[in-house]
Amino acid sequence: MAKTILEMDNITKTFPGVKALDNVNFKVEEGEIHFLVGENGAGKSTLMKVLSGVYPYGEYEGDIVYQGKVQQFHKINDSVDVGIAIIYQELALFPDLSVYENIYIGNEVKHNGIINWNQTIVKAKDMLKKVNLKVKPETLIKDLGVGKQQLIEIAKALSKEVKLLILDEPTAALNEDDSENLLELIKELKKQGITCIMISHKLKEVVAIADKATILRDGQTICTLEKAKGEIDEKTIIRHMVGREMNQIYPKRENHEIGDTILELKNWSAYDGQLGRHVVKNADLKLNRGEIIGISGLMGAGRTELALSMFGNPKNYKLKGDLVLNQQPVHFKHTSDAIKAGMAYVTEDRKGNGLFLLQNITKNVSASKLQGIAHHGIINNNEEIKIAEHYKNSLHIKASSIEQLVGKLSGGNQQKVSLGKWLFAGPNILILDEPTRGIDVGAKFEIYTVMNELVEKGLSIIMISSELGEVLGMSDRVYVMAEGEIKGELDSQSADQEKIMELATQ
Amino acid sequence: MKILQETQQLIKDNIRDYGMYIALFVIMLTFNMMTDGTFMSSRNISNLLDSAGYIAVLAVGMTLVIVIRHIDLSVGYVAGFLGAIAAILLMQQGLSIYLVIPIILALGIIIGLANGFLIAQLGIPAFVASLAGMLIFRGALLKVTEGTGTIIVQNEVFNALGNGFIPSLGMVNARHLLTIIIGVLGVLFFVYSELKTRHDKVKYNFDVISVPIFAVKLTLISLIIAYITWILAGYNGFSWTLMIVLFVTIVYHFISNKTVLGRQIYAVGSNPEAAHLSGINVKKITYLVMGSMSMLAALSGILYTARLQSATTTAGMLFELDAIAAAYVGGVSSAGGVGKVTGAIIGAIVMASLTNGMNLLGVGISYQYMIRGGVLAGAVIFDVLTRKRGK
């Protein structure tokens, strides 16, 4: 029986209004590869942040027992000092510094405060050998691919004499070869006695290299599967991941007629020059009049990117393939073209790129169709007020008045303002990106009701959502994305949580 | 009792705006007492407003530049350079002033669009792009004045822009008649627009301030306009500079508050990404704002050259910093999306009052800089603190 290296007992972590972790128990034995699996928002990353001290001692309840001792990490360095290293999905490297500088940053090879660069380079070479990476230590990070950067991160962790290595979705941004490489390396590290916790959405990987897999769902530990007992296979994992009861009620649509195809994507690809990879690959998709289609998938599957690439391409992706609107191929040069063509996009990140937080409700609602309230470029304030009042009442936005700053509203009401803003633009096609993220049940129901009213009027809706219940409850058809590709299409009768998750974790 | 509470609430909600006016009021009153009334004399106020003119127009443009999260350091020497070009066209080329002014303003717009190209198209940080412009136009100013040194402008119409006054149409009790007429019209227009706004708000059942407070506000501001008019009418009346500044302020105030373009500018400043996703052309807005900035720099150059009646080799030095300071005193926020054109004007007057008042008192130049720096820091600290409390 191997020694237990880490035990997290009854960890509870609450954010305002949400219990992100609810009495989670998590046990890792020395020298094993242990996967954490769960849907978006299941609490995996939060648990790892508790472990690494991002959420310091006192902000959570429960105990962390590491190497037989109860630990109290007050800051990230406390966990680093005892040999815990975490590598996030977004790499924390300095692109303009060299490989050796990156490996030893914060952990410099120094004598009386003076850095010994020559020794640093020698040591860095050793570390690079350990991760099987053949690059010169002088290479700048920005000149390396993502796969190699990932390895540099690991080398950096190794240089700190790590005992417990945590990787948060390390292969999400990697191609097949690089992923393979990384998994091999992790097996190699296991032989050297390093314990590894991995968060991953790719179940193939779990099946391939996991010794154990703990499944989280809605902030609770569901079970731990063991390879030794033959428990780790994709079906079993999926069953445990999604086994949620459908307790949310979705309003039913009345006389709901589906018309002709209004939007079609043919072999649609988007290449992100900055990331140096395709964020959308060969997507084929159809949207009919009066229809709600759901786009499901896990984080990083390329759903938001798909929406942006259709909606005037604000991120300047290199696009390939056809976007067909009402049987006419279209090329949008700017988001304003997409809006003119009858599209609207309610963003995932309300505060970041959806709303003008320092402006009031009135100005937010009118922002995407200013010419609609203006005559010869001069704004008719009375008209604007009428429209803002209209949406405040019809969407039940709770605010003291339409002059209230949007930044001071609750999440649900902000979402309604965002929705109102786009309804005012008068679209035929409404793209909703995570329309109910972070809002309460009552507001969710109201938004669903509005969605139903809209499709009854003949609008078409593309709903991007990570909530399986919502996707199943609201969509006529579901597309599932993973790694930028559409992995499958399901109709509302045949779709269920297991099928979606199977496609999403390919 | 209720009125008292409402007043308190009103001051709390608008502390940032009121604070600026109160500060200006306190500064003026203090200087007036310390100079035994010289500060508020007709002649001095007239002089003060004229001396603020060429910075005030820059501050208006700078406010919008800062609202869209950029900065323009080149405006000072652009003003100096274009002022010199104006002098050359007038004196050496013998062009008509009615041709020279549009040419200079057009050159300003072209320079601004070039700035816009660097910033919007190539993505160069505005600080660096305009720093390069500052150096280039400093050199250009030296180059065009190299042969001649200071160029004296002998054109009465041109010089009147910086020194002249509007015609009086006759004097009443030794007061300037046209000035009084304009002042009265100004008060009437102000009262009318306030009443209309209030009427509209009542129509939509919005909260409005109570009648007594509204009446006090109307009377107070009307009195201030009337008083300033009265003071100026006792000297030479409104100057052309003041009329130009008023015109620029009204136009920019209107654009920023009442037009689609203005709304788009504030949207871009407030959240560029959201603006882009709302179909607003962020690049176009950047071009326009930078273009307008340099056009105002050209205007500033004209005003300054006219005021000195000559183009000098050092014209425009540090204008940009005065304009930026005025904009910040006027309540613009570098986080973007916040700042008023009217605030910039008040900011420019605050800074000009400080200089003017301290000159009257004979304060040494060393202390003058320190005090102005202190006021700038104070204004921004006040801004940050009141904004924090607002959240």
pLDDT value at residue A211: 93
Q: Where are the domains of chain B?
A: 2-164+239-390
Give the pLDDT band of residue B235 (cuts 50, 70, 90). confident
Residue of A nearest to B207 (CA): A401
Q: Is the per-residue pLDDT at B285 higher than 80? A: yes
pLDDT digits (tens, 9 = 90+) for A314-324: 999 999 999 99
Cross-chain Cβ contact A357/B271 below 8 Å: yes
Same domain, A253 and A238: no
Q: Where are the beta strands (DSSP E) in A398-482?
A: 429-433, 460-464, 477-482
Cross-chain Cβ contact B200/A401 below 8 Å: no
Answer yes or no: are the C-beta atoms of A70 and A64 closer than 8 Å.
yes
E strand or H helix at A490, and its extent?
A: strand A485-491
Domain boundary among A375, A393, A426: A426
Contacting residues of A for B267, CB less than 8 Å apart: 356, 359, 363, 367
pLDDT value at residue B211: 86
CA distances from A480 to A84, A204, A330, A484, A504 (A): 36, 17, 25, 10, 6
pLDDT digits (tens, 9 = 90+) for A164-200: 999 988 887 777 788 888 899 999 999 988 999 999 8
Q: Do the domain assignments include residue A156?
A: yes
Smallest CA-to-CA distance from B109 within B287, B302, B311, B301 is with B287
Give the β-pairing of A292-297 and A460-464: parallel
Average pLDDT over every residue of A212-228: 90
Contacting residues of B for A382, CB less than 8 Å apart: 200, 204
Assign residue A270 the CATH number of its domain. 3.40.50.300
Cross-chain Cβ contact A335/B276 below 8 Å: yes
Cross-chain Cβ contact A359/B337 below 8 Å: yes
Q: Do the domain assignments include residue A225?
A: yes
Q: For residue A67, is it left (φ>0), alpha (ψ between -120 and 50) or beta?
A: left
pLDDT value at residue B391: 42
Estimate to the nearest angstrom the gap between the alpha carbon of A410 and the chain centroid: 22
Chain B nearest-CA distance from A479, in A, is 24
Q: Do the domain assignments include residue A351?
A: no
Percent of chain B at pLDDT above 70? 99
Contacts with A, B 32-91, CB within 8 Å: none
Q: Is the per-residue pLDDT at B375 higher than 70? A: yes
Q: How far apart are CA A330 and CA A310, in angstroms?
A: 10
Of A358, A379, A425, the CB nearest to B270: A358
Q: Specify burial of residue B38 (Cβ count, 10 A radius: 0-12, 13-18, 19+).
A: middle
Which of the two residues, B79 and B387, has the higher pLDDT score?
B79
pLDDT value at residue A478: 95
Cross-chain Cβ contact B277/A379 below 8 Å: no
Answer yes or no: are the C-beta atoms of B47 and B103 closer than 8 Å.
no
pLDDT digits (tens, 9 = 90+) for B59-82: 999 999 999 999 999 999 999 999
Q: Do the domain assignments include residue A24?
A: yes
Q: How far apart are CA A354 and CA A356, in angstroms?
A: 7
Q: Is the per-residue pLDDT at B276 higher than 80? A: yes
Top-confidence range, A108-112, A236-240, B131-135: B131-135
A498 touches chain B (CB under 8 A): no
Chain B nearest-CA distance from A277, in A, is 22
Q: How far apart are CA B49 and CA B31, in angstroms?
A: 15
Residue at B241: amino acid letter: T
pLDDT value at residue A246: 54
Estimate to the nearest angstrom the gap between the alpha carbon of B321 and the chain centroid: 13
Residue of A nearest to B387 (CA): A358
Domain boundary among A242, A257, A277: A242
Q: Is the per-residue pLDDT at A17 higher than 70? A: no
Of B207, B259, B276, the CB nearest to A378: B259
Same domain, A55 and A132: yes
Contacting residues of A for B206, CB less than 8 Å apart: 401, 403
pLDDT value at residue A248: 61
E strand or H helix at B88, and its extent?
A: helix B75-91
Residue B236 burial (CB count, 10 A)? 17
DSSP notation for B41-62: SHHHHHHHHHHHHHHHHHHHHH
CA distances from B45 to B232, B238, B319 (A): 7, 11, 21
pLDDT value at residue A477: 94
Residue of B nearest to A424 (CA): B278
Q: Is the per-residue pLDDT at A128 higher than 50? A: yes
pLDDT digits (tens, 9 = 90+) for B133-184: 999 999 999 999 998 899 999 999 999 999 999 998 888 878 889 999 999 9
Q: How far apart are CA A48 and CA A11, in angstroms?
A: 11
Q: Do the domain assignments include residue A347?
A: no
Task: Give which of B255, B257, B260, B264 to mutate to test A binding, by max A Cβ within 10 Å.
Answer: B260
Same domain, A435 and A328: yes
| Structural domains of chain A, count | 3
Cross-chain Cβ contact B279/A334 below 8 Å: yes
Answer yes or no: are the C-beta atoms of B343 and B356 closer than 8 Å.
no
Q: A147-151, A262-266, A272-276 — which is least confidently predicted?
A: A272-276
Of B258, B280, B391, the CB nearest to A379: B258
Same domain, A393 and A431: no
Tokens of residue B217, six digits:
């506000």
pLDDT value at residue B10: 79
pLDDT digits (tens, 9 = 90+) for A427-458: 999 999 999 887 777 788 889 999 999 999 99
Q: Is the per-residue pLDDT at A381 higher than 90? A: no
A328 touches chain B (CB under 8 A): no
Model ipTM value: 0.83
C-alpha radius of gyration, chain B, whole number:
21
Average pLDDT over every residue of B375-381: 90
Residue A310 structural domain: 248-342+427-506
E strand or H helix at A110, and its extent?
A: strand A110-111
pLDDT value at residue B308: 95
E strand or H helix at B391, and its extent?
A: none
Average pLDDT of chain A? 89
Average pLDDT over every residue of A3-26: 87
Top-confidence range, A14-23, A471-480, B76-85, B204-213: B76-85
Q: Do the domain assignments include residue A123?
A: yes
Q: Specify burial of residue A396 (Cβ count, 10 A radius: 0-12, 13-18, 19+).
A: middle
B200 touches chain A (CB under 8 A): yes
Same domain, A237 and A131: yes
| Residues present in chain B in total | 391
Give the pLDDT band of residue A19 (cuts 50, 70, 90). confident
Q: A125-129, B54-58, B126-130 — which is least confidently predicted?
A: A125-129
pLDDT digits (tens, 9 = 90+) for A405-422: 998 888 889 999 999 999
Average pLDDT over every residue of A289-299: 91
Answer yes or no: are the C-beta atoms of B303 and B322 closer than 8 Å.
no
Q: How far apart are CA A131 and CA A141, in angstroms?
A: 16
Average pLDDT over every residue of B27-42: 93
Range B2-164+239-390 classified under CATH 1.10.3470: yes
Percent of chain B at pLDDT above 90? 74
E strand or H helix at A274, and its extent?
A: none
